[in-house]
Chain A
Amino acid sequence: DAGVTQSPTHLIKTRGQQVTLRCSPISGHKSVSWYQQVLGQGPQFIFQYYEKEERGRGNFPDRFSARQFPNYSSELNVNALLLGDSALYLCASSLTGIGETQYFGPGTRLLVL
C-alpha cells in the first residue's frame, strides 16, 4: 500500500508570494494534519482536518489556510510568504485523527528568498 504522499518535494519562492502544498493520505484514512518543522526543531502543529472539516488549528497566522477534499486529500496554502516560513512542511494521516498512530509523508521543503 502507498504511504502518505506529498508534492512538490522542494519549492523555492520569494517573499510575498503564495504557495500551495499538496498531500494524499493513506488509502482509507480520513484525517489529515499539517506540521511545520524549522531547522533544528521538532514539528509544530498547523491544522487538522477530518471528513473535510477543520478539527484543530495551531498557533499560526491567518496567512496559513488549508482544506480537505472529498477524496480526503488536502492542500495547505500560505500567502504573503516571509523568510521565516522556510521550513519542512509535513503531512500526516490517520484513520480518525484521535488517539491513534499518525503516519507522516516525506515532506515538502520550502525555501523563501
Chain B
Amino acid sequence: GIQVEQSPPDLILQEGANSTLRCNFSDSVNNLQWFHQNPWGQLINLFYIPSGTKQNGRLSATTVATERYSLLYISSSQTTDSGVYFCATGGGNKLTFGTGTQLKVEL
C-alpha cells in the first residue's frame, strides 16, 4: 500500500515564528488532506489539496502531485497552533495517514 512520511517528527517554535511541514507519499494519489489534531484528539480539517496551492489565513499548503509531496506552511505561529499535524492521502476510499509532526509553540 501507499506509504506516507512526514517531517520533521517534532518541532518547537517561539510564538511568531514561521514553519514548514513536509509530507512525502509513495504513489500517485487523487486525494490529500492536512489535519490538525488538538490535545483532545479532534482531527480538524485544514486543507483538501490533491494538487496546487491553497491559503487560509496564516496557513497555506502546496501539493506537487507529480513529485509526490505536500507542504504545510504556518506563519506567525501562535500557542493555539500546538498539536499534531497529519497529512493523509490515498486512492479510492481510504486515507493513509503519516506519523505526524508534533508542534509545540512557546511564548
Contacts and interface: CB of A to CB of B under 8 A. Distances in A.
Interface in A45-67: 45, 48, 50, 55-56, 58
A50 B99 CA distance: 27
A55 B86 CA distance: 24
Contacts, number: 61
B53 interface: no
A31 B33 CA distance: 17
Contacts of A44: 97
A16 B35 CA distance: 34
A45 B94 contact: yes
Interface string A71-90: 00000000000000000101
B30 interface: yes
Interface of A: 31, 33, 35, 37, 41-45, 48, 50, 55-56, 58, 88, 90, 92, 97-104, 106-107, 109
